[in-house]
Structure 1
Amino acid sequence: MRSDNLPLRRLPARGFTLIELMVTIAVISIMLTLAAPSFSDFLRKQRMLSAADSITSTIGQARTRALAQSAYVTVAPINGDWANGWQVFSEGQNPNGIYDPSSDTLLSQYDPLTNGLKVTYNSTAYVGGAGNASGNYLIYSPNGYTASKLKQPQVTAAFNVAYQDGTGPSRIVIINALGRARTCDPNDAATKASGTCLTSLSQ
């Protein structure tokens, strides 16, 4: 039987002391400070890769529709500026690289790049050994090859996806004369040495 005169035992206190809590907060703050730049770089790279994938997807769609419709299908910037986004449209058998709602069929339209990203485009027509600018657009012929607006074959092209401030990662999407696209890293040591990741490729 418990006696009311017996002293009560105090249970040991549980939890953090003020000093332990302050040390824990300080350690977490340091870890977050160190991790922030790495996480920011990771986000920038993922956004850039997503943009490059969007370009590659656009090219694949244009080539597939050209083959399926036996028509010339074009990828071109909205109002002549890639900063406005771009369109994919069918031009039938008379390509000129410019979307005309009265005669062309709009297949898809893409919004401008965001988060400080930009896309630039370069293409060259290699016909009869002569290099001539083929325009600010990419045309696919009914056989799935690239072509100029004069229906000349063997056009090579490249899209450069990068940040407007010139910092951070970038990718180049290269399209050969057969209409096939590949993505490469212009900052990679191996591609720099081989010269296979340039916006002015003729292969």
Structure 2
Amino acid sequence: MATITVAAVILMLAGPSLNDFMRKQRVITAVDSITSAIGQARSIAIATNSYVTIAPVDKANWISGVQIFSEGQNPSGVYDKGVDKLLGQYDAMPAGMKVDFKSTANISGSTSSQTSLTYSPAGYTVTTGKVAQVNATFMVTFADSKPPSRGVIINALGRARTCDPAVDSTCVATATQ
């Protein structure tokens, strides 16, 4: 009986921390998936000398999955099955996850928002109009907005970095990094 009591106490103490651990691992896995897609798209754009885009499978919802496609020399940011070549697709995020994407392009002093991320043949991020200097941010968390959360920040050179807003003050949910 004493063994069962001790085991019950240990499980009560371990339960909350195990739940926190699982939530953190789900966020990290989702961020790793996005980061992998970004690296793949950039590498393919450079290797094939073409514009490669990362976009959500469902045009409005990044948790639906991520698709990578080559748009040749005419990027539109939207996958056209008859024209574009699908290079890869990542599965939907687990239920209860939330992915926010923000992308801002500086165009002659004004800004323009994007709904996808396109890489140029040089490996830089660009707008669908082929204008360089796009910064983007993915923020991954749970739909209940409780911690943990992680970010992926892409600078205008196309380089991505992951960050944890709980410990990194430069990890913000804006596309100005």
Band the TM-score falls in, shorter-chain normalisation? over 0.9
CA contact (8 A) 1:157 1:199 kept: no
Give the SS at the match of 1:177. Answer: coil
Match of 1:202, as an amino acid? Answer: T
Instruction: Tell me whether 1:198 sits opposite 2:177 in the alignment.
Output: no
Instruction: Tell me whether 1:79 sits opposite 2:70 in the alignment.
Output: no
Query: Shift of residue 85 of structure 1?
Result: 1.3
Structure 2 residue aligned with 1:15:
none
Structure 1 residue aligned with 2:77:
97
Structure 2 residue aligned with 1:11:
none
Decide which of 36, 50, 55 is 2:15's aligned counterpart: 36
Distance 2:66 2:34 in 1: 10
Distance 2:2 2:174 in 1: 56
TM-score by structure 2 length?
0.96
Give the SS at the match of 1:186. Answer: coil
Structure 2 residue aligned with 1:16:
none
Q: How many residue pairs were aligned?
A: 176
Cα separation, partners in 2 of 1:101 and 1:201, compared to 1, 3 Å = closer
Unaligned segments of structure 1, at least 5 residues: 1-21
Higher relative contact order (CA 8 A, sep 6+): 2
Unaligned segments of structure 2, at least 5 residues: none
Instruction: Tell me whether 1:23 sits opposite 2:2 in the alignment.
Output: yes
1:140-172 per-position Cα deviation (integer Å, ceiling 9, x unaligned):
000000000000000000001100011120101
Give the SS at the match of 2:172. Answer: coil
Query: Shift of residue 79 of structure 1?
Result: 3.0
Give the SS at the match of 2:74. Answer: coil
Query: Shift of residue 97 of structure 1?
Result: 0.2
Structure having the higher helix fraction is: 1
The 5 Å alignment of 1:36-185 reads 36-80=15-59, 81-133=61-113, 135-185=114-164
In our comparison, the structure showing a higher alpha carbon Rg is 1
Distance 2:51 2:69 in 1: 9
CA contact (8 A) 2:71 2:85 kept: yes
1:108-152 per-position Cα deviation (integer Å, ceiling 9, x unaligned):
11121014112111000012222221x210000000000000000
Match of 2:110, as an amino acid? Answer: A
Match of 1:89, as an amino acid? Answer: F
TM-score by structure 1 length?
0.84
Distance 2:33 2:57 in 1: 16
Q: Give structure 1 regions of 4+ aligned residues with deviation exceeding 2 angstroms.
A: none
Question: CA RMSD for the aligned pairs?
Answer: 1.1
CA contact (8 A) 1:119 1:162 kept: yes
